[in-house]
Structure 1
Amino acid sequence: MDHVQVYSGSEVSALAVKNALENNKIEFIERDDINSGIVSGFGTLGKATNIFVLANDAEKAKEIISSLNL
């Protein structure tokens, strides 16, 4: 199964994205680069949280995220 990144941003905004996707029954994978970097002993710059969905849910997920006006 192919996954597509639909969001990259702050951890706080990611909460709203995850809630919206859950409310619309869209499964997602979250990757938190900052926490992963801390555990591994290195940091990261830029966007902290990335959200991925299945490719066939990507368009709907992007529409939902866009409507959140983050």
Structure 2
Amino acid sequence: MSDFMKVFSGTSILVNRLAYMLDELGVASMIKDNKESGRLAGFGTLGQSVDLFINPSDFDKAKEAIQNFEKEISK
């Protein structure tokens, strides 16, 4: 995972929506669901526990979409 950079944390619904938007731009992403991992291991997590990662080389292509998405959800 060290080859990836975290670009967003939030609920599963929001992370999956952003991942879909990035996929349409041709940017591959990886989702890490800490809440589900914790549940399977027998413990829980708090807060924004789903993270979205992309390859750093794709950041320039994804930057505008991520910024627009963050503006949209903060309204």
TM-score normalised by structure 2 residue count: 0.83
Give distance in 2, aligned partners of 1:8 and 1:62: 15
- Identical amino acids, percent of aligned pairs: 30
Take 1:26 and 1:38, find their aligned partners in 2: how far apart are those partners? 29
1:44 is the counterpart of 2:58: no
CA–CA separation in structure 2 for the residues paired with 1:67 and 1:20: 11
Instruction: Look up the SS of the partner of 1:7 in the other structure.
Output: strand
Question: Following TM superposition, by how much is the alpha carbon of 1:59 offset from its aligned partner in structure 2, in angstroms?
Answer: 3.4
Alignment-derived partner of residue 55 in structure 1: 56
Could you tell me how far 1:25 is from its partner in structure 2? Answer: 0.6
Which is further off, 25-34 or 1-10?
1-10
DSSP-derived class of the 2:27 partner: coil
Q: Which position in structure 1 is the counterpart of 2:30?
A: 29
Ranges in structure 1 where 5+ consecutive residues have no aligned partner: none
Flag the structure with higher strand content. 1
* TM-score normalised by length of structure 1: 0.88
Q: State the alpha-carbon separation in 2 of the partners of residues 40 and 25 from structure 1.
A: 33
Structure 2 residue matching 1:18: 3-state secondary structure? helix
Q: What secondary structure does 1:6 align onto?
A: strand
Match of 1:16 in 2: 17
Alpha-carbon distance in 1 for matches of 2:22, 2:53:
11
